[in-house]
Structure 1
Amino acid sequence: MGDGGDPAELVSAFLEGNGLPVRDIGRTATQFHPTGGGTPCGATLYVSASAGSVIIGGPPGTPSPVPGIPDVVAVVHTHRDPIESSPSVMGACAIGSGNSGGSAGGASPDEWQLGPWRDSWSRDEHAAAVSAVRSAIGRGDVYQVNVVGHASAPYTGDPGPALARVAALPGARYGGVLSGDGWAVATASPETLVEVRGGRVITRPIKGTRPATEQGRRELLASAKERAEHVMIVDLERNDLARLGVGAVRVDELFAVRRWCELWQAESVVSAPIEQPVGLPELLRALCPGGSVTGAPKHAALAEIARLEPVGRGVSMGALGWVGTDHLDLGLSIRTAAVDGERVHLWAGGGITIDSDPWAEVDEAAAKAAPMRAALAGP
């Protein structure tokens, strides 16, 4: 975090200064409806996993493998005149070591080519990290920890089409590309970190994975281990929302099976009514980093993550989405890739419980990364 201070406050002050009333999200959703050219219609917001940890007083973790990408990026868009069909950029804010604006550096007009992937740890090292988490659970240090690995590959040519293929992967609730000076991020995330709409604050944690076959669906629904892991994170998210003090928290849907690419995943919906004023800083402090990619208890899990993961999470496992004048919708940046001037980067992992099989967890992470690797390689 290059600029110091609380990232949640810094970005909220920037957005408020550019005409978005983010200090009272309930009021934003019901009373603020700007029209006409030159007025803000919303902002693209990205918050890294490291920034999310810092927001709640946790460790920043291992340094990012893409240090040129800022920890927080906010781009404010304005309404254009009626004759123009799309919003224009009003202003941009970047917090951290990188810069916003521009496009991914290092690209050339040459044909796109992706080199060999290099993993941040071997399969044996990944399995050893899973075993280390199980030992920490056995000691009573944590109940669950999400362990994430990183891989990168060199490239030549224009990364834009490859990133667009990632963003278009089937099952993505949040599919898009955000670019800056010398970098770009593409997400195909299926998971909601936090949404504010219709007077409610909502989160949709995902936990539990199987191949998208009939047998895989039956196995996921029947797995006591997957269900226990999932319910643990649902309880964590219930507590996160309860900390907002906005209204009674409820579980609207529990362990529903959704499809992302060739995988089944279990998703729940947790929500609360907005009965008291709540702002963007409070939402970020309550829900960042997402419980499904940290573990429980959250602070203890973050300490294990910082100890075990050899490469930082970079753009993954953070937040990326939209802060509007009538709603807020931030996806959890899983299934997310990044490029700098020389390499493509991606991350994948999974939640570890006392019953986790190390080699099955290694294989699950590889299955999550496979569609992104294929999309990046070419059509």
Structure 2
Amino acid sequence: MFHAAQQAAATARFGGIAARGVIDVVDPSTRAGAARLAEGGTWFVRATFEGDCVAWRMAEVVADDATPAGAPWEGPDPARWSTSLDADGYRSGVRAVRAAVHEGDVYQANLCRVLAAPLAPAGGEPDAAALDARLAAGNPSPYGGHLHVPADQLLPDGRPVPPAWVVPASPELFLSLDDGVLRSAPIKGTAATATGLTPKDEAENIMITDLVRNDLHRVCTPGTVRVEKLLDVEEHPGLAHLVTTVAGELLPGAGWDDILAATFPPASVSGAPKRAALDLIAALEPVPRGPYCGAFGWIDADARRALLGVGIRTFWWEAGVLRFGTGAGITWGSDPDGEWRETELKAVRLVGLASVPARLRTTTEDR
């Protein structure tokens, strides 16, 4: 893999690929951007929940399945984290979603909050590769990685490059494309252990699975969309999830603008019906989600392959602040206290890893 501390050039890692340097930038959600992306190259993609989508074509790309190694990570003070919704505010939001379910406006909606802590390193920008390595060692995840495009980068033709700083430790597949097959694997249902998963979790997963099937039907050949695995239990550090895998044969000629228009934002982090759930989320959540609950990964235009994770369990940094999102799917059967505890469960391990100062970590790990 490329040297993790090389701040001058953009670096990225995800799904068995490491990359460095940027030679082009497009918005793949537009017709023009998707057409240019399709001309070739490997592109790292970051889409925010609100729909800001950017793909950076990387100059150097290598296969890399090794556990990342990087410089020591210097995280924020553990006592400095704040939340966009406190416990009372979040419980109130849960009750509002339940009221919307009672009125028939939605069947389910994902309610999230954003944690934030000041982080302003003396060198300018924190090292995303260092946090990536820290999380990979302490909380390995199938869709973890990083993208760090420092500010003030220029393309070879002189155009400015949009900056990016995102480090996901996501367990969830948003989309994969391989040999013409488009797949998605929504997670709904979370507990500390598999024995804690409930019938409410199963019902919520099936509800979102139907939404994913409908999304894929918009860009897949009729009759090919199918559920490959239903209510699989996946275990991750400190968490167990219910996961369903849905697949279909991509329509000939469908571009990434078509795919994203049909499927974004991910069903598991919005709700059902999707449009009504998004309107409810906008009314209840006081701050934007940004890269959290968006999408992150790569598109290999030459091989016609792609791998994109849902941007959950994700850190992002900008303007001297490190952020992390956490949330839960709310249905009529939701208990406000239980949903608040679920948001804490999803955050505690990763925020703890990101907050531990490097000097303390070295002392502890050397024992």
Q: What is the TM-score when the length of structure 1 is the normalising length? A: 0.75
Tell me how far 1:299 sits from its aligned partner: 0.1
User: Structure 1 pair 203/111, CA: closer, same or farther in 2 (3 Å)?
Assistant: closer
Which residue of 113, 129, 145 corresponds with 2:93? 129
Paired letter, 1:369: A
The number of residue pairs the alignment matches comes to 304
What's the % identity of the aligned pairs? 34
Tell me how far 1:194 sits from its aligned partner: 1.0
SS of the residue corresponding to residue 260 of structure 2 reads helix
Q: Distance in 2 between matches of 1:365 and 1:167?
A: 21
SS of the residue corresponding to residue 323 of structure 1 reads strand
SS of the residue corresponding to residue 77 of structure 1 reads strand
The Cα offsets for residues 197-237 of structure 1, whole Å up to 9 and x where unpaired, read as 122110000010011xxxx31231xx211100010000110
SS of the residue corresponding to residue 165 of structure 1 reads helix
Partner of 2:219: 244
Structure 1 unpaired stretches of 5+: 1-5, 22-39, 52-70, 88-108
Paired letter, 1:302: L
Q: What is the TM-score when the length of structure 2 is the normalising length? A: 0.77
Tell me how far 1:260 sits from its aligned partner: 2.3
Which residue of 79, 95, 112 corresponds with 1:148? 112
Paired letter, 1:180: V
Where does 1:199-278 land on structure 2 (aligned, <5 Å)? 199-211=180-192, 216-220=193-197, 223-247=198-222, 248-274=224-250, 276-278=252-254
Partner of 1:46: 46
Whether the aligned pair in 2 keeps the contact of 1:144 and 1:351 (CA below 8 Å) is: yes
Q: Does structure 1 residue 16 correspond to structure 2 residue 35?
A: yes
Which residue of 329, 347, 367 corresponds with 1:351? 329
User: Structure 1 pair 110/76, CA: closer, same or farther in 2 (3 Å)?
Assistant: closer
Q: Distance in 1 between matches of 2:202 and 2:247?
A: 20
Partner of 2:126: 159
Structure 2 unpaired stretches of 5+: 1-25, 65-71, 152-163, 362-367
Which residue of 322, 332, 342 corresponds with 2:320? 342
Please tell me the root mean square deviation across aligned C-alpha atoms, in Å: 2.4
Tell me how far 1:169 sits from its aligned partner: 5.0
Q: Does structure 1 residue 174 correspond to structure 2 residue 165?
A: no
Whether the aligned pair in 1 keeps the contact of 2:34 and 2:257 (CA below 8 Å) is: no
Whether the aligned pair in 2 keeps the contact of 1:110 and 1:156 (CA below 8 Å) is: no
Whether the aligned pair in 2 keeps the contact of 1:246 and 1:277 (CA below 8 Å) is: no
Which residue of 309, 325, 337 corresponds with 1:331? 309
Q: Distance in 1 between matches of 2:174 and 2:310?
A: 5
Q: Distance in 2 between matches of 1:251 and 1:42?
A: 29
The Cα offsets for residues 286-313 of structure 1, whole Å up to 9 and x where unpaired, read as 1100000000000000000000001110
Partner of 2:160: none
Paired letter, 1:224: P
Q: Which stretch of structure 1 is more off in the superposition, 156-165 or 245-254? A: 156-165
Q: Distance in 2 between matches of 1:124 and 1:111?
A: 32
Q: Distance in 2 between matches of 1:111 and 1:139?
A: 48
Paired letter, 1:159: P
